[in-house]
Structure 1
Amino acid sequence: MSLLKLIIKREFIAKVRNKSFIVMTFLSPLIFVVIAAVVGYLASMKADLRRIAVHDPANVIFNTLKNTEEYRYVNTSGLSVGVLRDSVKTEKFDGLLVVPATTKTNEIAQKTQYYSNESAPLELILDLEDQLSEKLTAQNYQAAGIDTLAINKAQADVSIQLKKSSGEDTIKGASLIRIVIGGGFGYLIMMFIIIYGNLVMRSVIEEKTNRIIEIIISSVKPFQLMLGKIIGTSLAGLLQFGIWIVLGITLLTVASAVFGIETGGTAGIAANAAAEQVDPSRIQQLLAAVWDLPIATILISFVLYFIGGYFLYSSFYAAIGAAVDNETDSQQFLLPIIMPLVLGVYIGFFTVINDPHGTVATVFSIVPLTSPIVMLMRIPFGVPIWQVILSIVLLFATFVLVVWFAAKIYRVGILMYGKKPTWKEIIKWTKYD
């Protein structure tokens, strides 16, 4: 055990003293804050005003068009379409809307045209279509002698009240809150596994290439060396993550207070919330929905899945590092490792959110290779405790099994040089006693 502690200490110190580790630890939060500040600044900037010429001789829609901060509509019905098209070419106008000079709604709906030098903004076209459709529909009602006022009064505004089976009120969007929280934790685990799993692999390759491994292996067992690298690198990664969080929050606070910059577009969100006068009861319901989540279960499960998932995949990375001589040769072995992680994220965001208790979500939340991501996304929706326990037990049992196999590959691979291994050879290494 004392040798394992020494290996962990050596690996940890080697990582934190590395120049690239130190630079990225303190530079990454600064880069993040700068990007967030730039995004916030760009979000607060007003878009360039675009002038849209409208050729509408019959005045079908022009009087109903609404100017915005981005678009201003100019009535140019007195000019010919040819002249107006030339004006668009010379960029006097940013676009030209041509409405046929007729009262036939079908013809207007089918033959209205929009000219521009570049591809027309989809948002603008959809808005024009909606406004024109609304106006033509009203004209059709009027031509048919239908009382539009009566139709508007007859329309029912349906708002289904959501309640739990216990009788408690719940809110729309509660599922989104759950998937955001669960997805955030699951995605964090995936990123940590990929980033620091690669560090474990690189560390093994580097020591193997420098032949340092031959000296180290004479004093310790391959299993101890592999486990020490995994734990030491994970501790360095956790330290780096902690520093990122503290520095990131500090820099964001300072940037907001000193420069008055609302990062990440929060200024626009706040302005929209103020303009819409959000119902305080709605906010209380959202907060209640958050506090109603199994927070203790989520946090405890995150720690357990974080440890189990990282150790499981780091064992794969360490085995690959021992089997190859450089990172280029490792690419053929990395795909089978990354695919389960990608599959877990895909299932989480496309299956769990729609059917968190379905067969697919349940199975992949128990399968060890995907459970650290999928189960964390399911827990906010409420998962039977036996499924969580079963998933964690299988995860750590698989970790022990993988470590045992990986140690066999590691024991043989760290002393192999100058030959690119194949899957067949690696499988043979696991059979050696």
Structure 2
Amino acid sequence: MSLSLIIKREFNAKVRNKSFIVMTFLSPILFVAMGALVGYLASVNGDEVEKIALYDPAGVFTKDFKSDKKTAFTDLSKLPLDKAKKEAAENYEGLIFVPNVADSKELVNKVEYISNDSPSMELVDKIEDVVNDNLTKQNLVKANIDYKAIDAAKTKAEVKLSKFSGEKSFKWFNYLKVFIGFGFGYLIMMFIIIYGNMVMRSVIEEKTNRIIEIIISSVKPFKLMMGKIIGTSLAGILQFLIWAVLGGILLTVAMGFFGLKMGAASAVSPDMIAAGTSKTEEMQVYITEILTLPWATMLLSFLIFFIGGFFLYSSIYASIGAAVDSETDSQQFLLPIILPLMLGVYVGFFTVMNDPHGTVATVFSMIPLTSPIVMMMRLPFGVPLWQIALSMAILFATFFGVVWFAAKIYRIGILMYGKKPTYKEIYKWLKY
């Protein structure tokens, strides 16, 4: 049996599976629906008005707590404290309690928010801002300093971002780059876990049904392992390409629905940005900026890093499947596989956001166990081609080295039955 036949068999087994077909076409719709649901729930939550009671008998902060679209403050200071607390507990989210003290300086650490539920950080920050601003103004007045003049002298600077080529950019665009890079990295991690588990389950199933004994009689274990890995990876690539096409169609339909344009027609004039934009024009600015990203490099790199990362991890998954007799037995060996993937996500998220070209981000984008995730997170910020090429070369070189070890485990473990393997025993197999 040739390698191509094994690849074809594994590929057909995956793509003809009903769950594969359903999820391939249903997943993009589910993602869009989930995004729409999250947006709807956020808008519903944003319309809710939080009712907060205030008890300030001295009237120190009464005028400072002003109601807005999100929060409505009600003064209960005329009631006795006990009744005010009871009223707030029954009809309000909470009560801001300002004790009556001789010196307002004592209020720095004595203002309380009383509630049975944990308040949002936004509300706590708002209360602290009111207290800080009020007491700061009082201190300035006591020092014979005109705080109104200070407020009038305050400025709010906004740093403009641009490239040496003259292209304009926006502060929020870096957050968008983090989000896009994180999405690509997270997709690679999920693909590796999902399809790696498919490889492992396929090996365990054939081993449990004793089909493997028949297959091994006509094909070498190494060819069988590589056939499973390549066949499953091709199924994954096919699924991703279908998702990309469907995603592009859904994006085009959505942009047409909101009246947005792509390509040259999407250019936004500097006058429009300076003068202020409408909702549609503002979204047009976002789309224009998104289109300036190196999409060709990112998509091609995604494909290569997915293949390299999947090959690397799937060879380990295959060797684990060959070593155990059931999925339950495989759990003890899966943690060392998951940890580098999780490390890549966390390192990429927390370091790339702050310094995409720093030492930590660069080093982890070269380490083969984390490079498929971290490098994808760095790409939206622009990475030199030599770093991308070096990372890919190290990844595939490591894959060939790991395959050699995995093949030795696979060759011995595939015919081992009735015994739970240990790390010590697997180490012995490497010497055979």
Query: TM tier, shorter chain?
Result: 0.7 to 0.9
Contact 1:293 1:380 in 2 (8 A): yes
Contact 1:52 1:74 in 2 (8 A): yes
- Structure-2 separation of matches of 1:11 and 1:194: 17
Judging changes above 3 Å, is the alpha-carbon distance between structure 1 residues 26 and 290 closer, same or farther for their aligned structure 2 residues? closer
Q: Which one-letter code corresponds to 1:374 in the other structure?
A: V
Contact 1:170 1:285 in 2 (8 A): no
Judging changes above 3 Å, is the alpha-carbon distance between structure 1 residues 332 and 236 closer, same or farther for their aligned structure 2 residues? same
Pairwise CA distance, 1:240: 3.5
- Structure-1 separation of matches of 2:64 and 2:240: 54
Question: For residues 329-344 of structure 1, what are the structure 2 equivalents within 5 Å?
Answer: 329-344=329-344
Unaligned segments of structure 1, at least 5 residues: 259-275
> Secondary structure of the equivalent of 2:231?
helix
> Secondary structure of the equivalent of 1:61?
coil
Q: How many residues of Structure 1 are paired with residues of Structure 2 in the alignment?
A: 414
| Partner residue in 2 for 1:9 | 8
Contact 1:179 1:377 in 2 (8 A): yes
Contact 2:233 2:307 in 1 (8 A): no
Contact 2:188 2:372 in 1 (8 A): yes
| Partner residue in 1 for 2:271 | none
Question: For residues 302-381 of structure 1, what are the structure 2 equivalents within 5 Å?
Answer: 302-381=302-381
Q: Which one-letter code corresponds to 1:229 in the other structure?
A: K
Q: Which one-letter code corresponds to 1:340 in the other structure?
A: P
| Partner residue in 1 for 2:201 | 202
| Partner residue in 2 for 1:429 | 429
Higher relative contact order (CA 8 A, sep 6+): 1
Judging changes above 3 Å, is the alpha-carbon distance between structure 1 residues 151 and 193 closer, same or farther for their aligned structure 2 residues? same
| Partner residue in 1 for 2:91 | 92
Judging changes above 3 Å, is the alpha-carbon distance between structure 1 residues 398 and 296 closer, same or farther for their aligned structure 2 residues? same
- Structure-1 separation of matches of 2:9 and 2:279: 56
| Partner residue in 2 for 1:268 | none
Residues 1:390 and 2:403 are matched in the alignment: no
- Structure-2 separation of matches of 1:202 and 1:175: 40
| Partner residue in 1 for 2:268 | none
Contact 1:186 1:373 in 2 (8 A): yes
| Partner residue in 2 for 1:269 | none
| Partner residue in 2 for 1:132 | 131
Pairwise CA distance, 1:198: 0.5
Pairwise CA distance, 1:190: 1.2
Question: For residues 259-298 of structure 1, what are the structure 2 equivalents within 5 Å?
Answer: 290-298=290-298
> Secondary structure of the equivalent of 1:316?
helix
Contact 1:33 1:252 in 2 (8 A): no
Contact 1:171 1:286 in 2 (8 A): no
Judging changes above 3 Å, is the alpha-carbon distance between structure 1 residues 380 and 418 closer, same or farther for their aligned structure 2 residues? same
Percent identity of paired positions between Structure 1 and Structure 2: 61
Question: For residues 98-247 of structure 1, what are the structure 2 equivalents within 5 Å?
Answer: 98-101=97-100, 104-164=103-163, 169-244=168-243
Contact 2:77 2:84 in 1 (8 A): no
Judging changes above 3 Å, is the alpha-carbon distance between structure 1 residues 71 and 360 closer, same or farther for their aligned structure 2 residues? closer
> Secondary structure of the equivalent of 1:96?
strand
- Structure-1 separation of matches of 2:299 and 2:243: 20
Q: TM-score, structure 1 length as denominator?
A: 0.83
- Structure-2 separation of matches of 1:88 and 1:204: 63
Judging changes above 3 Å, is the alpha-carbon distance between structure 1 residues 411 and 289 closer, same or farther for their aligned structure 2 residues? same
Q: TM-score, structure 2 length as denominator?
A: 0.83
- Structure-1 separation of matches of 2:63 and 2:48: 23
Pairwise CA distance, 1:163: 4.5
Contact 1:322 1:410 in 2 (8 A): yes
> Secondary structure of the equivalent of 1:141?
helix
User: C-alpha deviations, 1:216-258, integer Å up to 9, x for none?
Assistant: 1112221221111112222223344445556677789999999
RMSD: 3.4
Judging changes above 3 Å, is the alpha-carbon distance between structure 1 residues 352 and 138 closer, same or farther for their aligned structure 2 residues? same
Judging changes above 3 Å, is the alpha-carbon distance between structure 1 residues 351 and 111 closer, same or farther for their aligned structure 2 residues? closer
| Partner residue in 1 for 2:261 | none
Q: Which one-letter code corresponds to 1:42 in the other structure?
A: L
Contact 2:324 2:420 in 1 (8 A): yes
- Structure-1 separation of matches of 2:209 and 2:420: 17
Q: Which one-letter code corresponds to 1:4 in the other structure?
A: L
Pairwise CA distance, 1:427: 2.7
- Structure-2 separation of matches of 1:98 and 1:39: 35
Larger mean Cα displacement after TM superposition, 54-63 or 405-414: 54-63
| Partner residue in 2 for 1:266 | none
Contact 1:58 1:103 in 2 (8 A): no
Judging changes above 3 Å, is the alpha-carbon distance between structure 1 residues 281 and 370 closer, same or farther for their aligned structure 2 residues? same
User: C-alpha deviations, 1:157-188, integer Å up to 9, x for none?
Assistant: 33334444566554424433333333222221
User: C-alpha deviations, 1:382-428, integer Å up to 9, x for none?
Assistant: 33322222222222222222222222221221111111222233233
Judging changes above 3 Å, is the alpha-carbon distance between structure 1 residues 282 and 152 closer, same or farther for their aligned structure 2 residues? farther
Contact 1:171 1:285 in 2 (8 A): no
Question: For residues 392-431 of structure 1, what are the structure 2 equivalents within 5 Å?
Answer: 392-431=392-431
- Structure-2 separation of matches of 1:39 and 1:379: 27
> Secondary structure of the equivalent of 1:357?
coil
Judging changes above 3 Å, is the alpha-carbon distance between structure 1 residues 189 and 415 closer, same or farther for their aligned structure 2 residues? same
Pairwise CA distance, 1:213: 0.7
- Structure-2 separation of matches of 1:159 and 1:84: 44
Judging changes above 3 Å, is the alpha-carbon distance between structure 1 residues 186 and 217 closer, same or farther for their aligned structure 2 residues? same
- Structure-2 separation of matches of 1:357 and 1:32: 31
> Secondary structure of the equivalent of 2:113?
strand
Judging changes above 3 Å, is the alpha-carbon distance between structure 1 residues 296 and 23 closer, same or farther for their aligned structure 2 residues? closer
Pairwise CA distance, 1:121: 3.6
